[in-house]
Structure 1
Amino acid sequence: MDRIDGIRAFVAVVDAGSFTRAGERLGISNKLVSKYVAALEGQQGVTLLNRTTRALSLTPAGERYLTAARRVLAAVEELDAQAHAEEGALTGRLRITAPVAFGEMFATTLTRDFARVHPGIDIDLNLSDRYVDLAAEGFDLALRIGQLPDSSLIARRIGQTETWVVASPAYLAAHPRPNRPEDLRDHVNIRDSNAQNPGRAVFLIEGKAVSVPLPGRITVNSAQAVRRLVLEGEGVALIPSFVVARDVAEGRLERLLPGFVRPQLDIQALYLPRPFLPPRLTAYLDHLRMGLSPLLKAPRPDS
């Protein structure tokens, strides 16, 4: 057995969660996947996976081996990509993670269009609002919105958006309309825990950044979930404009405090520093930068 086959099978099992799904991903039988992993364990002299009838889990040795295994596969894929890039064809696999709302509205469409142009590339798009560990979980790219914590990741801005303060007509019929940002402290605020500080909001007032408290009892880690609660009249919220633009245009929500500017939110693509960026990743980044702005400006379908 080629050791690279064993490493590839091992990583596929970890990512897929089973030998059967790993075989489907690799285009081989689950028995062959199991044989490759067992042979790799024999070569290493350690058990990498705990196997039970219900689940698989990494052993401590497997956890240590996984990080190195991902680096080996990345290096092999980069060599293959270099060779094919000279021939003008992009090949290989991209694993991308993006926030749920943004992913459903934009990343899915952009990824579909990219895959149509580059049929030699396989793409695994994972939509999640949690901050994944790119190195540990084997992702090539993370798409994120807003201010990011300091990290060793390389960030490339691919677009910008803003957040709007919105409420439903029903809520505003029962509560006084806020006229200034500080009025939000007297309202029921539905907060998005994906924000850097869910309990406060920054407005630019007379050229100065002013932080305003957002008291509230409900905090949700999804912009779409916040939107649904606001549509139901549960309170006021700050939501990315692309999520609620159609609701505002069609009168389901009202935009509040439009004369008070909030800082723009960067939409960023993050990846691990590496000496050689695979051509497929470079091409995908270029595709995002070119394609995102027109989508942000276009009317969104009702949802």
Structure 2
Amino acid sequence: MDWDKLRIFHAVADAGSLTHAGDTLHLSQSAVSRQVRALEESLNTNLFHRHARGLILTEQGELLFDATRAMTKRLDAASARIRDSEEEVFGELRVTTTIGFGTLWLASRLSNFYADYPDLNIDLMLDERVLDLPMREADVAIRMKEPSQADLVRKRLMSVRMRLYATRSYLETHEMPQTIEDLQEHRLICQNLSSEQVSAGATMVRELMSYDLPSLLTVNNYFGCLQAVRNDLGIGVLPDYVAIDDRDLVRVLPEVESNAVPVFLAYPEELRQSKRISAFRDFVVAQIDAQKKRAQMIENG
């Protein structure tokens, strides 16, 4: 099967338009149309339903698009490995992690990474979904559980616990709770149980809600919870790493916390020698080590 025709078909299927595909490929609309027609004739099938509003893949077209998408991802992976220099780190690095960890921990530290590697572009994908690394939906992932996909290099980074926090200004005007029952005198800020979150966090929230708290503010991610806590709306369930960097947060009810949540960094086996991956992995590990040292200094006074 002619790869040039497949490449053009893939661009048309991805864009849903001959014109847009032609712009991407720097070809005329008529040239793109001829190549697609020739591919359909060689396969003896229609790959698109043609409508006034655009092109829609037929069932056969969907099958072929799945194949060309997988081929494209594999070619991208091969290209990335070839481009990786022994001395330089450049190109694009696609990083996926959860919304909470990405917004509250990783994004604020990337300026340090860019300072060392100004020629590397990062595509930060914040999503609770677990993207398929072997299929190159992302290059590297930081996840709140050990990845189960095959052919991945895994590294455990740290453990996280969900704890209760409030601001110093909030506690100046509201009495510090001494027992869980005392939370009935406060507004609890937490993720809602219908949102995607680690099971340890959901278990903790469920237990707290069993005390029939009269005032709740639920949010679908930890970034929103943190902003509500910072604005003195109540006592929030937050991951412990946010308090290390925010000295205005005070831990409430130290005996109340979730089970430990393991944090893993993972990437495809085929990218083991990638300089981009190595640079990012070493950067994350160094940032975590520095945070652990700050946490020990705070704990020791």
TM-score bracket, shorter-length normalisation: 0.5 to 0.7
- Deviation of 1:106 after TM superposition, in Å, equals 1.8
- Deviation of 1:63 after TM superposition, in Å, equals 4.3
Secondary structure at the residue paired with 1:177?
A: coil
Whether contact under 8 Å (2:5, 2:39) holds in the other structure is: no
- 1:213 corresponds to which of 208, 215, 221: 208
Secondary structure at the residue paired with 1:286?
A: helix
- Alpha-carbon displacement from aligned partner over 1:132-160 (angstroms, at most 9, x marks no partner): 4556782233322x346855574432344
TM-score normalized by the length of structure 1: 0.63
- Deviation of 1:48 after TM superposition, in Å, equals 5.7
Secondary structure at the residue paired with 1:238?
A: strand
Match for residue 97 of structure 1? 96
- Deviation of 1:294 after TM superposition, in Å, equals 5.0
Match for residue 203 of structure 2? 200
Match for residue 39 of structure 1? 35
Evaluate the alpha carbon distance shift between residue 222 and residue 282 of structure 1 in structure 2; reply closer, same or farther with a 3 A threshold: same
Please give the residue correspondences for 1:189-268 in structure 2 after superposition, counting only pairs within 5 Å.
189-192=188-191, 193=195, 194-196=197-199, 198-201=201-204, 212-215=207-210, 217-247=216-246, 249-250=247-248, 253-258=249-254, 262-268=258-264
Match for residue 287 of structure 2? 292
- Alpha-carbon displacement from aligned partner over 1:92-151 (angstroms, at most 9, x marks no partner): 6433222334324424744873696383x654322334444556782233322x346855
> Which ranges of structure 2 fall in alignment gaps of 5 or more residues?
295-301
- Alpha-carbon displacement from aligned partner over 1:173-218 (angstroms, at most 9, x marks no partner): 776633345765886432224232554329xxxxxxxx94335654
Q: CA separation in 2, counterparts of 1:91 and 1:139?
A: 16
Percent identical among aligned pairs is 24
Evaluate the alpha carbon distance shift between residue 82 and residue 151 of structure 1 in structure 2; reply closer, same or farther with a 3 A threshold: closer
Q: CA separation in 1, counterparts of 2:99 and 2:164?
A: 20
AA matched with 1:43 = L
Q: Name the Cα RMSD after superposition.
A: 4.9
Evaluate the alpha carbon distance shift between residue 81 and residue 175 of structure 1 in structure 2; reply closer, same or farther with a 3 A threshold: closer
TM-score normalized by the length of structure 2: 0.64
- Deviation of 1:80 after TM superposition, in Å, equals 4.0
AA matched with 1:266 = P
Please give the residue correspondences for 1:112-261 in structure 2 after superposition, counting only pairs within 5 Å.
113=113, 117=117, 119=119, 123-134=122-133, 138-144=137-143, 146-147=144-145, 152=150, 154=152, 155-168=154-167, 172=171, 177-180=176-179, 188-192=187-191, 193=195, 194-196=197-199, 198-201=201-204, 212-215=207-210, 217-247=216-246, 249-250=247-248, 253-258=249-254
AA matched with 2:106 = F
- 1:279 corresponds to which of 267, 274, 278: 274
Whether contact under 8 Å (1:7, 1:37) holds in the other structure is: no
Q: CA separation in 1, counterparts of 2:241 and 2:16?
A: 34
Secondary structure at the residue paired with 1:189?
A: strand
Q: CA separation in 2, counterparts of 1:118 and 1:286?
A: 16
Q: CA separation in 1, counterparts of 2:277 and 2:240?
A: 28
Secondary structure at the residue paired with 1:292?
A: helix
Match for residue 69 of structure 1? 68
Secondary structure at the residue paired with 2:227?
A: helix
AA matched with 2:74 = A
